[in-house]
A and B are shown apart, each in its own frame.
Chain A
């Protein structure tokens, strides 16, 4: 079954992916996404009834540690990468209205 990606779907994917696409990019994305889904649909040929999904090849549990700082204060180094900063803070556009 061939997949067709609607304008609404590509709009929604753009919101999820936090990407702003031009109208040309949207058309390309619709086709690319449909092509890939057609390709991935091959997996539906396989009967996976009763198969446990494997997220990790080795059974991995959570790895816990004490909540203790071990690497010192790197705040100045970290802030030196900031696109915009003021003193010890990152500057971002206004996030709360009113």
Chain B
């Protein structure tokens, strides 16, 4: 493997800026690596070598002319396939969008391109981001580069695997219930779900709009903060975009947790949590304690209610959001049908996979007359209680730390047969989406079979600086 591929995004950006390499050489290095590994791993849904090289040449030219510079200028990036990319196939890993070429790019992608990052291609995911293993993709499973008998996690499994396999220097993912943090954990990379509304959702194909948030998957915390500086922005085109006081995340890259109050929720460490995961996370917490953090345990309420609340709300929103896929204006249309309504039904039935259908049906049911109050409205009330439990905790703590997932990556094929069991893998991540909170997943070791273990650092809304600082301090300590 070309040694450039071992660099982090920021390290590569520095080498490019110093003239030691350039955007085209970096792209060529990553392409070689993709060609060597992709047959086995399948991280990408769309990868067009010539188009990627052409983009790299354009960026190199701008940089040579002095018109473009910055920490990620010339650095190749992979984009999850639910973010629109103008002129580039965007499938959401679904048959229903198998031929969809967006006429515009998502705001996060535009921000990256303005900063000079060069798109390699589009990464595999669970269909419409509905899944926790990347096995519901219509374009084949992605394998975990750390152990190819295991899943990479999901739904941003292609992005996480591409980072872990050095098939990109960093990637964008999206997180509705853990879809950045959990695959980051399973693949041993860094992933951040920012505070809701921090990165524009414009051009992100919606799953659960009140929960969806775009964020980075990358090799270390420095990359993470650097990418956030670029992709976070207030965007009038996203009506839920929040105007934040500051968009500076890299200033939090400080090796200092003295006096930082860290809360450990006992409920996250009870039954259901794998012993090796537990030990690795608590050991990592000790590292922060030794560096001056004040660590104490507390009881976080309502943990067991987060998953049923989430699936009610997310599926309700999905059933509404996915109504647009009707075979009229874009995407797949059934070949044979009898009239308009039958065309809709046939198109959707042939175009969506089983997990997507399952969620659309549950969502339609909980929103239907007679059940709306009992299910949907009830879930919105419990969401308010979950938010309050976190609000209370953040009056006492700067950061809450726990595991990302109860286990390391399961084996391929072991999860899909029992949906509820698969949903349980998101138990520690899902409540952050309900409460809008930022969460950072960083690698803290491996289990005895060599699979990565992730630690989740949870911050209060708009307090990414705390979790970035704690994550960075840990990372430097164990380097």
* B149 CB-CB contact with A under 8 Å: no
- Do the beta carbons of B378 and A44 come within 8 Å of each other? yes
Q: Tell me the B329-343 residues at the A interface (CB within 8 Å).
A: 329-333, 337, 339-343
Q: A-B contact count, CB below 8 Å? A: 164
Q: Which residues of chain A are near B273, meaning CB under 8 Å?
A: none
* B207 CB-CB contact with A under 8 Å: no
* A4 CB-CB contact with B under 8 Å: no
Q: Which residues of chain A are near B103, meaning CB under 8 Å?
A: 74, 77-78, 81
- Do the beta carbons of B240 and A43 come within 8 Å of each other? no
Task: Give the Cβ gap from A47 to chain B, nearest Cβ, in Å.
Answer: 10
Q: Tell me the A77-92 residues at the B interface (CB within 8 Å).
A: 77-78, 80-84, 90, 92
CA distance A40 to B319 in the complex (A): 17
- Do the beta carbons of A33 and B361 come within 8 Å of each other? yes
Task: Give the Cβ gap from B334 to chain A, nearest Cβ, in Å.
Answer: 9
Closest A residue by C-beta to B368: A16
* B15 CB-CB contact with A under 8 Å: no
Q: Tell me the B345-365 residues at the A interface (CB within 8 Å).
A: 345-346, 348-349, 352, 354, 357-358, 360-365
Task: Give the Cβ gap from B303 to chain A, nearest Cβ, in Å.
Answer: 12
Partner of A56 from B210, B330, B344 at Cβ < 8 Å: B210
Q: Which residues of chain A are near B374, meaning CB under 8 Å?
A: 44
Partner of A53 from B357, B358, B377, B461 at Cβ < 8 Å: B377
CB contact under 8 A between A19 and B349, given known A83-B333, A93-B337: yes
Q: Tell me the B66-105 residues at the A interface (CB within 8 Å).
A: 99-101, 103-104
* A23 CB-CB contact with B under 8 Å: no
- Do the beta carbons of B381 and A83 come within 8 Å of each other? no
Task: Give the Cβ gap from A42 to chain B, nearest Cβ, in Å.
Answer: 5
* A63 CB-CB contact with B under 8 Å: yes
- Do the beta carbons of B348 and A19 come within 8 Å of each other? yes
CA distance A56 to B212 in the complex (A): 12
- Do the beta carbons of A33 and B362 come within 8 Å of each other? yes
* B308 CB-CB contact with A under 8 Å: yes
Task: Give the Cβ gap from A50 to chain B, nearest Cβ, in Å.
Answer: 9
- Count B-side interface residues using an 8 Å CB cutoff: 71
CA distance A51 to B196 in the complex (A): 22
Task: Give the Cβ gap from B342 to chain A, nearest Cβ, in Å.
Answer: 8
Partner of A83 from B104, B302, B331, B345 at Cβ < 8 Å: B331
CB contact under 8 A between A20 and B349, given known A32-B358, A81-B329, A94-B339: yes
Q: Which residues of chain A are near B378, meaning CB under 8 Å?
A: 43-44, 48
* B379 CB-CB contact with A under 8 Å: yes
CB contact under 8 A between A17 and B364, given known A32-B419, A48-B382: yes
Closest B residue by C-beta to A9: B365
CB contact under 8 A between A13 and B196, given known A56-B210, A81-B331, A83-B328: no
* A46 CB-CB contact with B under 8 Å: yes
CB contact under 8 A between A93 and B101, given known A36-B311, A54-B380: no
* A60 CB-CB contact with B under 8 Å: yes
* B305 CB-CB contact with A under 8 Å: yes
- Do the beta carbons of B385 and A46 come within 8 Å of each other? yes
Q: Which residues of chain A are near B349, meaning CB under 8 Å?
A: 19-21
CA distance A62 to B343 in the complex (A): 34
Task: Give the Cβ gap from B369 to chain A, nearest Cβ, in Å.
Answer: 10
Q: Which residues of chain A are near B210, meaning CB under 8 Å?
A: 55-57
CA distance A28 to B329 in the complex (A): 31
* B375 CB-CB contact with A under 8 Å: yes
CA distance A7 to B15 in the complex (A): 64
- Do the beta carbons of B435 and A92 come within 8 Å of each other? no
Task: Give the Cβ gap from A61 to chain B, nearest Cβ, in Å.
Answer: 9
CB contact under 8 A between A33 and B308, given known A53-B381, A57-B435, A58-B242: no
* B152 CB-CB contact with A under 8 Å: no
- Do the beta carbons of A58 and B196 come within 8 Å of each other? yes
- Do the beta carbons of B360 and A19 come within 8 Å of each other? yes
* A67 CB-CB contact with B under 8 Å: no
- Do the beta carbons of B100 and A81 come within 8 Å of each other? yes
Q: Which residues of chain A are near B332, meaning CB under 8 Å?
A: 83
Q: Which residues of chain A are near B197, meaning CB under 8 Å?
A: 58
Query: Which 5 A-B pairs have CB atoms at the shortest separation, nearest pair first?
Result: A53-B380, A57-B436, A83-B333, A81-B330, A54-B384
- Chosen A-B contacts, 18 in total, with CB atoms closer than 8 Å, are A9-B365, A13-B365, A16-B319, A17-B348, A33-B362, A36-B362, A36-B419, A37-B375, A40-B379, A43-B379, A46-B302, A57-B196, A57-B387, A78-B330, A81-B330, A93-B339, A94-B339, A94-B340
Residue positions of B touching A, CB distance < 8 A: 99-101, 103-104, 196-197, 210, 236, 239-240, 242, 302, 304-305, 307-309, 311-312, 319, 323, 326-333, 337, 339-346, 348-349, 352, 354, 357-358, 360-366, 368, 374-375, 377-385, 387, 419-420, 434-436, 461
